[in-house]
């Protein structure tokens, strides 16, 4: 798509400038994160370049991996993991191939996630697992926004990534009071830095709309806190260990998973 081609120099320039910055810092964690970003950017951009088909396949692949991490996080049964994974992969594909039936599929997935513990006779943790399964379907189903937002999906992905970097810089250099007990290390200065950086990215990409601005300025920090709440409840620091500099895929997608549905609702 032309928007992605036009944005390629901006993304490449941001990565190049970031690479110089992390090299100067000599901080191993930042170098690891930059290397991961350098791999993620062409994969996401390349997939979204092919329109709805590429977006759907990308979202489905992300959904399957994220569902596996989510299932481990909450100790879901194999059957519930399968339901959440099927919904996370199936909803983006339905948004591409059969958008009219997408909401019926979502409703069926929610019902299945709630009923599986009942059919299994789970007397000890059934209610908790049913709630976790339903939430997982709703949360990871937000990846269908990569399809439904069209060309704006790429701009939102870039803006969320830039906002994350801006939040780190803002929290480090601006400081301010703690944002939430859910994540004491995060500061209101980080929220300000992330909002400024993310909305500036939207403006540079020609996607400065009220819905996308709210998704970046408000939903991005809330998405980060939402995942922090889930991890604290599960007693873990990260959802995985395989993604250098971040932990698991959910640790990288947390902000996007809330920004996408907010953008869809407000667009």
SS (H, E, C) 19-62: HHHHHHHCCHHHHHHHHHHHHHHHHHHHHHHCHHHHHHHHHHHH
Query: Looking at residue 2, what is its pLDDT?
Result: 64
In whole angstroms, how far apart are CA 163 and each of 109, 129, 192, 218, 267? 32, 33, 10, 11, 20
| 17 Cβ contact list (under 8 Å, min separation 6) | none
Give this prediction's pTM.
0.94
Distance CA 148, CA 151 (A): 9
Q: What is the mean pLDDT of each run of 10 residues along the chain (267 residues)?
A: 76 84 82 89 94 97 98 94 97 96 95 94 89 97 97 95 92 90 92 96 94 98 96 93 92 97 95
Which run of H or E residues covers position 249?
helix 249-266
Are 144 and 59 contacting, i.e. CB atoms less than 8 angstroms apart?
yes
| 178 Cβ contact list (under 8 Å, min separation 6) | 184, 185, 186, 187, 188
Would you call 227 exposed, middle or buried from its count of C-beta atoms within 10 A (0-12, 13-18, 19+)? Answer: buried
């Amino acid at each position: 798509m032309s928007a992605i081609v036009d944005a390629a120099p901006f993304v490449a320039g941001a990565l190049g400038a970031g690479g110089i910055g992390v090299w100067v810092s000599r901080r191993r964690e930042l170098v690891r994160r930059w290397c991961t970003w350098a791999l993620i950017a062409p994969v996401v951009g390349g997939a979204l370049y092919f329109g709805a088909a590429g977006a759907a396949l990308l979202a489905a692949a992300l959904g399957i991996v994220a569902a596996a991490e989510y299932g481990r996080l909450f100790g879901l049964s194999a059957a519930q993991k399968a339901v959440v994974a099927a919904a996370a992969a199936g909803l983006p594909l339905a948004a591409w191939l059969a958008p009219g039936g997408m909401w019926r599929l979502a409703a069926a997935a929610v019902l299945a996630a709630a009923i599986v513990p009942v059919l299994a006779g789970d007397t000890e943790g059934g209610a908790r697992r049913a709630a976790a399964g339903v939430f997982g379907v709703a949360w990871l189903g937000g990846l269908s926004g990569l399809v439904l937002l069209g060309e704006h999906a790429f701009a939102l992905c870039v803006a969320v990534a830039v906002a994350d970097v801006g939040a780190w810089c803002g929290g480090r250099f601006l400081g301010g009071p703690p944002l939430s007990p859910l994540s004491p290390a995060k500061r209101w200065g980080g929220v300000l830095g992330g909002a400024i950086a993310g909305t500036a990215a939207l403006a540079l990409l020609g996607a400065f709309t009220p819905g996308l601005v709210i998704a970046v300025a408000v939903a991005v920090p809330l998405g980060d806190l939402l995942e922090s709440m889930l991890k604290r409840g599960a007693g873990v620091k990260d959802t995985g260990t395989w993604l250098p500099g971040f932990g698991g895929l959910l640790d990288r997608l947390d902000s996007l998973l809330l920004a996408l549905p907010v953008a869809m609702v407000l667009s």
